[in-house]
Amino acid sequence: MKTSHFFALFLPALPALSSPVHDTSTLYDNVKVMRIPTGNVTEALTQLVAQHGLTLWTLHPQPQSHLDVEVPSPKYSGFIQDVTDVLDTGGIDHALVTMHENLGESIRRESENTFSAQDLKLEAGALAGPEWFNAYHPYADHLTFLDDLVTTFPKNAKIVSSGRSIGGRDIKGINIFGSSGSGTKPAVIWHGTAHAREWIGTMVTEYLAYNLLINYANTTDIKSYVDKYDFYIFPIVNPDGFVYTQTTDRLWRKNRQTPPSGSSCYGRDINRNWNVSWSATGGASTSPCAEDYKGLAAQDAPETQQLAAFLNARANSAAGAKMYTDWHSYDQLFMTPYGYSCSKVASDGTELNNLAAGFGTALEASHGTTFTTGPICSTIYPATGSSTDYAYDVSKIKYSFAAELRDTGDNGFILPANQIRPSGEEVFAGVKYLLANIK
Catalytic positions are 404
What's the farthest any 2 CA atoms get from each other in the chain? 66
DSSP 64-81: TSEEEEEEEHHHHHHHHH
Alpha helices of 134-198 — where are they, by DSSP H?
139-152
What's the Cα-to-Cα distance from 199 to each of 19, 31, 205, 210, 250, rounded to whole Å?
Answer: 16, 21, 10, 17, 10
- Cα separation, 252 vs 250, in Å, equals 6
Query: Radius of gyration over alpha carbons of the chain, in Å?
Result: 21
Beta strands per DSSP E along 265-332: 321-329
Q: What does the alpha-carbon distance between residue 379 and residue 205 come to, in Å, rounded to a whole number?
A: 23
Rounded Cα–Cα distance for residues 169 and 175 (Å): 19
Is the distance from CB of 324 to CB of 232 less than 8 angstroms?
Answer: no
Q: Is the dihedral of CA 269, 284, 339, 301 positive or negative?
A: negative
- Give one DSSP letter per residue of 216-274, joined into a string: TTT-HHHHHHHHH-EEEEES-S-HHHHHHHHHT-TT--S--PPPPTT-------TTS-S
Task: Give the Cβ contact number of residue 391 at 10 Å.
Answer: 31
DSSP 3-state of 95: coil
Query: Which of 110, 297, 303 has its CA nearest to residue 193?
Result: 303
Let me know: does 353 contact 401? Beta carbons within 8 Å: no
